[in-house]
Structure 1
Amino acid sequence: MENVLSVKNLGKSFKSKNVIQDISFDVRKGEIMAILGPNGAGKSTTIRNIMGIMYPDEGSIEFHNYAKNEIPRQKIGYLPEERGLYKNVKVMDMILYLAELKDYPIKKARERAMEYLAKLGLEGKEKVSVEELSKGMGQKVQFIGSIIHEPELLILDEPFSGLDPVSQEVFKKEIKALADNGTAILLSSHQMNMVEEICDRLFMISQGRKVIYGSLEDVKNEYANFKCTLRGKNDISILERIPHVQRVEQKGEVNVLYLSQDVRVTEWLRQLPESLNIQELSIDRISLHEIFIDVATAQQGGAQ
């Protein structure tokens, strides 16, 4: 798959503090790539370097099919975490202004704007001023502004923030559709459930350095141990003595057994005591949210 963006050995310092060190990843055409990390990990600094808002001290950022070090601003869409629409401007005028900044044809921009306003539940709002919109509606308008010019690379920083569950589903659908049509998407979000549902690959950064990089499937295989959710009245001490059980979380009759990485599920099931009270039993891998917590906690602990 063709790379649209390549970040190589990126480094950036402020005074004596290294904010990011040796950061490298690619974003491919038609994929959704997540950049993750706890607060202060260096995600925003990385994005700002890609956008040319600041410049790295080390490494390079290459946009394929463009001259080295050239930032093709007209081909990049950006939804920043900090929202910034002019409040006293009408919705359609705001979107067309953003399209004009990218030298995108105004007639085509107006047609696309009407299409997306309808898709995102804002039909009839084109003549309403931005200040009259709710926070979620303003978020939708800014999203439209970030994609109105059909960017090759779309950078979304916390796109689901401030949206109700229905709007989040609509955003997920549109983001997937953009990727299906060939847009390369770099997405930053703290909502791990959203990331897990829509992203193809992920890059996790902690304390300015890479800690995880790969496809969602590969990351799950490497970091996501199995867990068994068991409903039934059972003594926790019995559950803790079952082979390969690392820890048990018990809430009433629901027990979650976290298993070791080397466990073979089929064989493990045969080792369950016959005396167990089993009303329901399910086995799956731990979620991306749990992986994020485990890795981030381990990194922070190692730095102390």
Structure 2
Amino acid sequence: MQADQALVLDQVTKRYGDFTAVDALSFAVRTGEVFGFLGGNGAGKTTSLRMVLDIIRPTAGNISVLGRAPGRENAPFLGFLPEERGLYRTMSAIDTIVYFGRLKGMSAGDARTEGLALLDRFGLSANAKSTMDKLSKGMAQKVQLATAVVNSPRLLILDEPFSGLDPVNQGLLEDEIRNASATGATVVFSTHVMQHAERLCDRLLLLARGRKKFEGNLDEARALLPARLNVTARQQLDGLPGVADCSGGPDTGDGWRDYAVTLEPGATAGGLLEYCTTNGIALRRFEERRASLHDVFLHMVGSGEPAQ
């Protein structure tokens, strides 16, 4: 493991009988980056993260967490927000945060001080002594988030963290991910909601049926799809060099028509524009459409894997 790598999986496989949940998965997360672990339901995301946390053991392969093997000794340096939320219902909000801080090696005083600061930041100062069963779902989710970050973890792992959150709390969570990264933490989060990954990730991995389909940054992911253009022209663009597909709308009555153009692999928007200019093809609009991460996901894994 290199010094700038916070997490490494090397040919990690997890089997349950004849079923392979994770299949020879290898990737590395650099120190300080926000890394998106993306895939549809059942892709193997949660299984992979549980192996990182030593909740389950891999069938084969190696895992390095902050330069160590997975294990309890990593607890002081990790933060974890599970997909399935659950806290002790009769424990107060602040006592819950202190309890988790203590599990991570913090002193009771330090955990309480940091816990109160987190509750204040999350708008829950007045609810510090309220028991969990008296809090709304959104409030309880904020407390659970506080338990994950109370120890200022070096590696913060969030499993489907946006699941069930309303838009306000989704925004708060995005802010906390950015804050953790800005203060030096490495953040790994799994999701099947591509918009969050587009806004937050330095790099990402696409997982389907336990296998890695892609690892890289957003621009590299978008480059996997052929370029697409919105063009308004006076003539049909089918058959032009580099054009793979062209569908046009109705004539506007003045000879102009809108076209949706897909380029061939390797062809560029600049190349097509230059051809049109030098060959006298009249254009009124020429816009490149940036592929979304959702488009990339469907291209890489097909429509059989759900994503939003």
Distance 1:122 1:266, change over 3 A: same
Q: Distance in 1 between matches of 2:248 and 2:132?
A: 49
Q: Distance in 1 between matches of 2:100 and 2:248?
A: 53
Distance 1:243 1:167, change over 3 A: farther
Q: Distance in 2 between matches of 1:141 and 1:251?
A: 52
Pair 1:297-2:302 in alignment: yes
Confirm or deny: 8 A CA contact 1:38 1:296 kept in the other structure. Answer: no
Whichever residue aligns with residue 261 of structure 1, its letter is P
Whichever residue aligns with residue 285 of structure 1, its letter is R
Q: Distance in 2 between matches of 1:69 and 1:173?
A: 28
Confirm or deny: 8 A CA contact 2:53 2:70 kept in the other structure. Answer: no
Whichever residue aligns with residue 294 of structure 1, its letter is H
Q: 1:177-211 CA deviation, whole Å, 9 max, x = no partner?
A: 21122211111011111101111111222121111
Pair 1:142-2:147 in alignment: no
Distance 1:275 1:178, change over 3 A: same
Aligned residue for 2:129, secondary structure, equals coil
Confirm or deny: 8 A CA contact 1:60 1:69 kept in the other structure. Answer: no
What residue is the counterpart of 1:89 in the other structure? Answer: 91
What residue is the counterpart of 1:259 in the other structure? Answer: 263
Distance 1:239 1:190, change over 3 A: farther
- Match runs of 1:126-137 below 5 Å: 126-137=128-139
State the Cα RMSD in Å: 2.8
Distance 1:193 1:145, change over 3 A: same
Q: 1:260: how far off?
A: 2.9
Confirm or deny: 8 A CA contact 1:152 1:183 kept in the other structure. Answer: yes
Q: 1:114-147 CA deviation, whole Å, 9 max, x = no partner?
A: 2222322323221222223332222211111101
What residue is the counterpart of 1:173 in the other structure? Answer: 175
Pair 1:269-2:273 in alignment: yes
Q: Distance in 2 between matches of 1:281 and 1:136?
A: 45
Pair 1:10-2:12 in alignment: yes
- Match runs of 1:1-304 below 5 Å: 2-66=4-68, 68=69, 70-71=71-72, 72-221=74-223, 223-229=224-230, 238=236, 244-247=242-245, 256-271=260-275, 274=281, 278=284, 281-297=286-302
TM-score by length of 1: 0.85
Q: Distance in 1 between matches of 2:203 and 2:165?
A: 24
Q: Which has the larger radius of gyration?
A: 2
Count of residue pairs brought into register by the alignment: 293
Q: 1:78: how far off?
A: 0.8
Distance 1:229 1:16, change over 3 A: same
Q: Distance in 2 between matches of 1:84 and 1:69?
A: 23
Aligned residue for 1:124, secondary structure, equals helix
Q: Distance in 1 between matches of 2:109 and 2:119?
A: 15
Q: 1:112: how far off?
A: 1.9
Confirm or deny: 8 A CA contact 2:229 2:269 kept in the other structure. Answer: no
**Mind listing any 5+ residue stretches in structure 2 that lack a counterpart?**
253-257
Aligned residue for 2:125, secondary structure, equals coil
Q: Distance in 2 between matches of 1:33 and 1:205?
A: 13
Q: Distance in 2 between matches of 1:98 and 1:92?
A: 10
Distance 1:91 1:239, change over 3 A: farther
Q: 1:73: how far off?
A: 2.2
Q: 1:22: how far off?
A: 0.9
**Mind listing any 5+ residue stretches in structure 1 that lack a counterpart?**
none
Whichever residue aligns with residue 264 of structure 1, its letter is T
Whichever residue aligns with residue 190 of structure 2, its letter is S
